[in-house]
Structure 1
Amino acid sequence: MNWGHGIVLAIIGFVVVIMTMVVISVRMTGIELVTEDYYEKEIDYQSQIDRETSANRLDREVISFNAQEKVLLFDLPKGTNAQLELFRPSDETLDQKLDFSVSSEQKMSVPIDQLKPGYWRVQLHWVEDGKEFYEEKKINL
C-alpha cells in the first residue's frame, strides 16, 4: 500500500467517525434547557444578582438543612411572603414550588423526606421590608 491509499483511508475513516457522531447527537432525546423561560430569566439576571447580594448581607443564615431529620429550616421574620422552589437538575418532573407566609417568630420548617434521594437545589425568593431577596442551597438527600 502506498501513501495515497493511506491518506484516502484516513480521510474516509475520519468522515465515518464524524457522521456517526452527528447521527448519535441528532437521535438523542432529553436535551432541554434548564427552565422553559431561560432567555427571559437571562435578561433579568442583574436583578437576580442584586437579590442574592442583599441576602448575603443579612446577618443570619436563612436556609438551613437538617440531614438527619430531612427538614429544611427557614429563618424569616413574621409577615414575610416567600416562594420555595425545590429544583432537581436531572429531572424537571420532580421540581416543586411552594408559596408560603411566615406567621410566627420561630423558624419555619418544611419536611422533605418525601423527595426522591439525590442532588437538589433549594431556591428561596422572599420579600422582607419591601426588599426582594434570593438564597439558594444545594443539598443531597
Structure 2
Amino acid sequence: MNWGYKIAISFVIFIGIIVTMVVISMNQDISLVSADYYEQELAYQDQIDRMERTRKLEKQPEIILDRNSGVITIDVFDSTVDSGEILFFRPSDASMDKRVSFPASGKLNIAVNDWEQGLWKVKLSWSVAGDDFYLEEIVNL
C-alpha cells in the first residue's frame, strides 16, 4: 500500500471520528438551571436586596433536617408572614424540584424520607408587610 492510500484512509477515519462526536454531542441532554435563566439574571439586584434584608433580621430563619424522623422543619420566626414559598431545588435533575407554600404562622414541617438522597438547595422566600426576604441553604439528605 502506498502513501496515497494511507492518506485517504486517514481522512476517512478522521471524518468518521468527527461524525461520531457530532452524533454523540447532539444526543446529550443540556438543560439550564431554569427555563427563564436570562430574565432571572437581569432581575438579580432585587434578589440581592431580599438577601440583604434577611441578613439584617434579628433572628434568622432556621432550616433543620432531622435525619431520624426524615422531616425538615422550616421556621421563619415571624408571626406576621403575609405569604411564603419554599423551593426544594435538585441541581442534578430539575424534574425532581418541589414547591411548597407555607402558612401565615411561618413554620412548616415537611416529610422528606421518601425523597431522593443527595444534595438539595432549599430556597425560602417570604414577605412581611410588603418587604420580601430570601434565604438559601444546602441540605444533604
Per the shorter chain, which TM-score range?
0.7 to 0.9
Report the CA distance shift for 1:79/1:21 in structure 2 as closer, same or farther (over 3 A). same
Report the CA distance shift for 1:22/1:75 in structure 2 as closer, same or farther (over 3 A). same
Residue 84 of structure 2 is matched in structure 1 by 82
What letter matches 1:21 in structure 2?
M
- Following superposition, the deviation at residue 130 of structure 1 comes to 1.8
Residue 110 of structure 2 is matched in structure 1 by 110
Quote the sequence identity (%): 33
- Following superposition, the deviation at residue 65 of structure 1 comes to 1.8
- Following superposition, the deviation at residue 42 of structure 1 comes to 1.2
Report the CA distance shift for 1:67/1:100 in structure 2 as closer, same or farther (over 3 A). closer
The Cα offsets for residues 51-80 of structure 1, whole Å up to 9 and x where unpaired, read as 111112223231322232332322331131
- Kept in 2: contact 1:102–1:108 (CA 8 A): no
Secondary structure of residue in 1 paired with 2:63: strand
Q: Which moved more, 1:34-43 or 1:131-140?
A: 34-43
Residue 36 of structure 1 is matched in structure 2 by 35
What letter matches 1:47 in structure 2?
D
What letter matches 2:133 in structure 1?
F
Tell me the distance in 2 between the aligned counterparts of 1:65 and 1:47: 26
Q: What are structure 2's unaligned runs of at least 5 residues?
A: 1-7
What letter matches 1:79 in structure 2?
T
Report the CA distance shift for 1:72/1:15 in structure 2 as closer, same or farther (over 3 A). farther
Q: What are structure 1's unaligned runs of at least 5 residues?
A: 1-7
Report the CA distance shift for 1:61/1:12 in structure 2 as closer, same or farther (over 3 A). farther
- Following superposition, the deviation at residue 9 of structure 1 comes to 9.4
Residue 47 of structure 2 is matched in structure 1 by 48
Tell me the distance in 1 between the aligned counterparts of 2:64 and 2:17: 48
Secondary structure of residue in 2 paired with 1:101: coil
TM-score (norm 1): 0.77
- Kept in 2: contact 1:124–1:134 (CA 8 A): yes
What letter matches 1:93 in structure 2?
S
